């Protein structure tokens, strides 16, 4: 078992110095997600301006994988369009479900490709996806709360 593959420098760095952590106003959608097997939790807020993800803010308790993943998520989707954010979500989810068969596209996923190794550890995939599930849910709630947006 190669631990370096799982705990890449990039992941440990995001874990020790999480980007964008803390809950902020304003926000249109908020989601609370729990991993019932380990008790990890995240509360994540999304602030949408027009078709842009203007901010993602969060508070979480959990392991290095789940915390680093939320930090990477923040960097990837903040200030992108909602459509691009959803594309990253789909791409990251696919990478996590790849069972070690995919390396991920560094062009689009940037630091998140460091999580490719996690996909070989079925028990940890849920950790990596917790923040992304919260993001997806918060985005749906945000879209629902914005009048005139029904395409999401």
Q: Which stretch binds other proteins (CB under 8 A): 20-28, 43-51, 80-88, 120-128?
A: 120-128
Cβ distance to other proteins smaller for residue 41 or 143: 41
Cβ distance to other proteins smaller for residue 62 or 104: 62
Q: Which of 121, 143, 146, 149 binds other proteins (CB under 8 A)?
A: 121
- Residue among 152, 104, 112 at smallest CA distance from 131: 112
Q: Which stretch binds other proteins (CB under 8 A): 4-12, 46-54, 102-110, 143-151?
A: 4-12
CA-based R_g, the chain, Å: 15
Report the alpha-carbon distance of residue 127 to residue 145 in Å, rounded: 28
Cβ distance to other proteins smaller for residue 38 or 133: 38
Report the alpha-carbon distance of residue 11 to residue 69 in Å, rounded: 8
Cβ 130 to other proteins, closest distance in Å? 11
SS3 assignment, position 152 = coil
146: which DSSP letter? S
Residue 44 burial (CB < 10 Å; 0-12/13-18/19+)?
buried
The count of chain residues that interact with other proteins, using the rule CB under 8 A, is 19
59 within 8 A of 41, measured Cβ to Cβ: no
> Between 40 and 69, how does the x/- string for binding to other proteins read (CB under 8 A)?
xx-------------------xxxxx-x--
Chain residues binding other proteins by CB under 8 A are 1, 3, 6-7, 12, 37-41, 61-65, 67, 121, 124, 127
């Amino acid at each position: 078992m190669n631990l370096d593959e799982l705990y890449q420098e990039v992941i440990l760095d995001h874990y020790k110095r999480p980007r964008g952590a803390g809950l902020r106003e304003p926000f249109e959608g908020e989601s609370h997600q729990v991993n019932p097997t380990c008790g990890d939790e995240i509360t994540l807020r999304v602030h949408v301006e027009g078709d842009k993800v203007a901010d993602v803010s969060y508070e979480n308790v959990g392991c290095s994988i789940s915390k680093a993943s939320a930090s990477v998520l923040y960097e990837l989707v903040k200030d992108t369009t909602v459509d691009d954010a959803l594309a990253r979500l789909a791409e990251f989810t696919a990478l996590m479900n790849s069972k070690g068969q995919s390396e991920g596209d560094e062009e689009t996923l940037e630091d998140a490709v460091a999580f490719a190794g996690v996909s070989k550890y079925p028990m940890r995939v849920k950790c990596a996806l917790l923040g992304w599930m919260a993001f997806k849910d918060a985005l749906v709630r945000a879209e629902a709360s914005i009048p005139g947006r029904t395409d999401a």
